[in-house]
Structure 1
Amino acid sequence: MKSAIYLGTAIALLRFAVAVLPTYEHGEYRGQNQLVLGDDDQANKSEGIGMLEKIVGTGSAKEVDSAGSSIIHNAAIPVETPLDADNVATFKDPSPPSSYLTQKYRFSVGSTTNQWAITYTPYNDDLTCKTKAAIDADVAMIAKKGFTSIRVYATDCSILKYVGSAAAYHKLKLILGIHIDDTILMLAQPQINEIITWANGNWDIVEMIVVGNEAIFNDFTTPNLLAEFITSARDHLREAGYSGPITTTEPIDILLHNKAILCPVIDVAAANIHPFFHADVSAEIAGDYVISELERLEEICPGMQAVNLETGWPKVGMANGVAVPGVLEQWVAVAGIQKTAGGRSVFLGFGDDGWKEEGEFGVETSWGCAHIFGVDQS
């Protein structure tokens, strides 16, 4: 109960704080100095409570009515907000609503709680590799804040060795990625060999292997070539003793249009479900959108568990219809997604990716959301 009040208070304070902040342009923040909010902001406060009631319920949101004034640093949740490992269960319902928990699948991944996994990339903003010490610290924090798995996208930067050893120490599982780019699968087979050598027959730490990340969507390969490569990868991995699920992940419509080709070669129906890229989906309904898409995904590949391997909301950028980037909006969207589908969703990501190009709407660098789970990244 106390943790729910903390969360409701924190997010609601964010809501009315951000409402009176000066707006920031694409690619930059304004008003980054300390902002003190007084008692005369009742209109913004009421609007904030209204939004939070939709996400976390009336009780938690209305706890802010007697809050008086508060200080927000850089429009982010204060470090002292008590959202530590003991309070991660704030978003976790005792009985998650989806029937997937009781359904039997040949392969099953995810969590029976509302918190499962987060993505991790081992790069600094200049695309140099993070040190082992930095990776150890990051993985320790991921474990401390209640995640049970980490998704990685490739095998570079000694990620198998460094993230793997840290994950094993903290009893985390790995969702391994085989990166496919415009080299037409030339670099993919060596990654499989590297994974097999690294595992050395000890596969317990590997929850799932994902062959490609939006490779068809990005025109790096074709559905038929990808299906052939997944089949080949499966043969090599099974021969090496890996018996867990193998899949690929794309935007859901890519899988829909190619289900006859892809569904027979995967073990888990996976998609990257990003509410922000749908102009009619606001942060407030991001959770509802994700769970509805997961239900659709289950129908595309019947008999398989459906999982969301990349999701979240950006902090910075330009609006896409009613989908508006922002610090507050990210909090609201992530809270909603975790509430409805956290046990089957991988959040993007541990930190912002300053090494990426900003992309459409200028949002690609700002999806890092670990701070929402209590990680201090200052």
Structure 2
Amino acid sequence: MKSSVWANALVAGIFVGTACGRPLINKRAFVTEVVYVTQEVAGVAVYVDEDGTPYSTSTIAQVSSIPSVAVPATSAISQPTSGIASALPIASSPAVPAPPAASSPALPPSSLPVPSPVPTSGQAVEPTASVAAEPATSTPAVEQPATTPPPPPSPVNPPPPPPATPSPPGTSEDPNEITGLGITYDPYTGGKGSSSCKSADQIAKEFDGMKGYAAVRIYGMDCNLVPLAVQNVVKNKQKLMAGAYLSHQGNGEDLSKVIQALKSAVDQYAGSNWDVITLFSVENERVNEHDMTVSEVVDAINQARGQLRGVGYYGPVGAVETVPAMVGNPAICKAADVAMVNSHAFFDPNTQASDAGTFVKGQVEQVRKACGYKRVVVTESGWPHQGNSNGKAVASPANQEAALKSLRDNFNSDLYLFNAFDSPWKSDSASTFNAEPYWGIM
């Protein structure tokens, strides 16, 4: 009995051992291969039937290069799940595309993940995360609504431009800077053959009488006039047309001394600001009087300009001539920064006082044409109140008034009325119709 029991037990043990040492089902999971594919494809929608089997695809939108998702293939049969995203072929399907571009902004190339190299057989496969696309899950993909872009920022007004840097004093180089009407002045008193200098007080008083004019013209440095003139025009907020009286007749001035006197006066009374000087002339009608040659005048202009630039004056430099002398010798105005001429309608026998302004305006056009259309400044123009007649030009107080009105009607700048006061020290002659001392306006 015992033998039979032991025999049965032995048979049972052998059977159990055999069953435990061999599996009942000869089925093993295996990984065949993992493939990473990067391909530029369009967005694709995959349609599946109720069993999860794909039967149709369609293109949604063009998508730039997107890293693909690795899908491991196994021998297990895919089971359908609820949702579209899980119903994709396992072994032979292409990589799952990213959502359409409309649902999220495309990443710049530098932010896209770089796919891992294809592993060889026998290597362990680690799942890799991707920010561009995720593996299919059982949850259907939901397209995110496009977010409304924020409103553009309010326009920012540009900052105001920085204030213009003021130019240093006396550095204006524009020869076309306009000055209003001026008046001429000389510092002499006395009768014929007995002229003398006016006192500083008298000069100051007469400058006060001329303060209604924008500028005052002086002819040289005699009677200490340069510092007195600068001092008084600064006080009266006027400009000064300065000049040197060059001549070969024994009363000519030294150009360098005149410029040095002018610099000292500007330094002392104008704070070294050369803006107080509006023009500088090297001579007055010397070519017309056959006292200087054209080449001498041109040389003087160039010399004066160089010296004046050296002391800080950058305004116009030139020479004053009559209209016929300037038109006949355009080298003078071509060497100058502006053309400067004396023009008196009284010396034209066909012009009456009321037409003085029209006559002078026509003379200016002739000079402009001869001088290459340079700026022209009339440095003297007036009418005598006493003297002999010259055809239609009659000297009288009434005609002087009419002539001055005509000049003002035709010019509001770039003209100097001649002269502030009578000059009884001057000599009369037939050529000047015995009117030379009687041009004073005031």
The TM tier, using the shorter chain, reads 0.5 to 0.7
Tell me, in whole angstroms, the C-alpha distance in 2 between the residues paired with 1:329 and 1:183. Answer: 35
Tell me, in whole angstroms, the C-alpha distance in 1 between the residues paired with 2:428 and 2:376. Answer: 29
- Identify, as 1 or 2, the structure richer in helix: 1
- SS of the residue 1:108 aligns to: coil
1:334 corresponding residue in structure 2: 404
1:267 corresponding residue in structure 2: 337
Tell me, in whole angstroms, the C-alpha distance in 2 between the residues paired with 1:163 and 1:107. Answer: 22
CA RMSD across the alignment: 1.8
Offset of 1:262 from its aligned partner? 1.3
TM-score, length of structure 1 as denominator length: 0.66
Residues 42-121 of structure 1 mapped to structure 2, 5 A cutoff: 106-111=174-179, 116-121=181-186
Contact 2:288 2:321 in 1 (8 A): yes
Contact 2:343 2:360 in 1 (8 A): yes
The AA in structure 2 aligned to 1:367 is W
Match status 1:174 vs 2:240: yes
The AA in structure 2 aligned to 1:320 is N
C-alpha distance 109-323 of structure 1, shift in aligned 2 (>3 A): farther
Offset of 1:224 from its aligned partner? 0.7
Mind listing any 5+ residue stretches in structure 2 that lack a counterpart?
1-172
1:46 corresponding residue in structure 2: none
Match status 1:324 vs 2:394: yes
Match status 1:189 vs 2:239: no
Offset of 1:182 from its aligned partner? 2.3
Offset of 1:183 from its aligned partner? 4.2
- SS of the residue 2:368 aligns to: helix
Match status 1:139 vs 2:213: no
Match status 1:225 vs 2:296: yes
How many matched pairs? 260
1:171-193 Cα offsets, whole Å, 9 max, x none, are 11000011022248663332233
Question: Equivalent of 1:156, from 216, 222, 230?
Answer: 222
Question: Equivalent of 2:376, from 281, 298, 306?
Answer: 306
Offset of 1:130 from its aligned partner? 1.1
1:228-281 Cα offsets, whole Å, 9 max, x none, are 11111111111111100001111111111111x213310111110111111111
1:123 corresponding residue in structure 2: 188
2:7 corresponding residue in structure 1: none
Question: Equivalent of 1:216, from 281, 284, 287?
Answer: 287
Taking CA–CA contacts closer than 8 Å with sequence separation of 6 or more, which of the two structures ends up with the larger relative contact order? 1
1:29-76 Cα offsets, whole Å, 9 max, x none, are xxxxxxxxxxxxxxxxxxxxxxxxxxxxxxxxxxxxxxxxxxxxxxxx
The AA in structure 2 aligned to 1:191 is V
Contact 1:106 1:304 in 2 (8 A): no
The AA in structure 1 aligned to 2:224 is S
The AA in structure 1 aligned to 2:306 is D
Tell me, in whole angstroms, the C-alpha distance in 1 between the residues paired with 2:404 and 2:309. Answer: 36
C-alpha distance 342-273 of structure 1, shift in aligned 2 (>3 A): farther
The AA in structure 1 aligned to 2:326 is L
Residues 285-304 of structure 1 mapped to structure 2, 5 A cutoff: 285-304=355-374
Offset of 1:303 from its aligned partner? 4.1
Match status 1:358 vs 2:391: no
The AA in structure 2 aligned to 1:208 is L
Contact 2:230 2:266 in 1 (8 A): no
C-alpha distance 217-242 of structure 1, shift in aligned 2 (>3 A): same
1:94 corresponding residue in structure 2: none
The AA in structure 2 aligned to 1:117 is G
Mind listing any 5+ residue stretches in structure 1 that lack a counterpart?
1-104, 371-378
Contact 1:140 1:170 in 2 (8 A): yes
Match status 1:369 vs 2:437: no
The AA in structure 1 aligned to 2:370 is I
TM-score, length of structure 2 as denominator length: 0.56
2:318 corresponding residue in structure 1: 247
Offset of 1:106 from its aligned partner? 3.8
Tell me, in whole angstroms, the C-alpha distance in 2 between the residues paired with 1:163 and 1:233. Answer: 20
The sequence identity of aligned pairs, in percent, is 27
Tell me, in whole angstroms, the C-alpha distance in 1 between the residues paired with 2:382 and 2:334. Answer: 29
Match status 1:258 vs 2:323: no
Contact 1:129 1:157 in 2 (8 A): yes
The AA in structure 2 aligned to 1:168 is V
1:276-297 Cα offsets, whole Å, 9 max, x none, are 1111111121111011111222
Tell me, in whole angstroms, the C-alpha distance in 2 between the residues paired with 1:349 and 1:207. Answer: 19
Offset of 1:140 from its aligned partner? 1.2
Contact 1:180 1:220 in 2 (8 A): no
Tell me, in whole angstroms, the C-alpha distance in 1 between the residues paired with 2:368 and 2:378. Answer: 11
- SS of the residue 2:237 aligns to: coil
1:72-111 Cα offsets, whole Å, 9 max, x none, are xxxxxxxxxxxxxxxxxxxxxxxxxxxxxxxxx9412444
Larger radius of gyration: 2
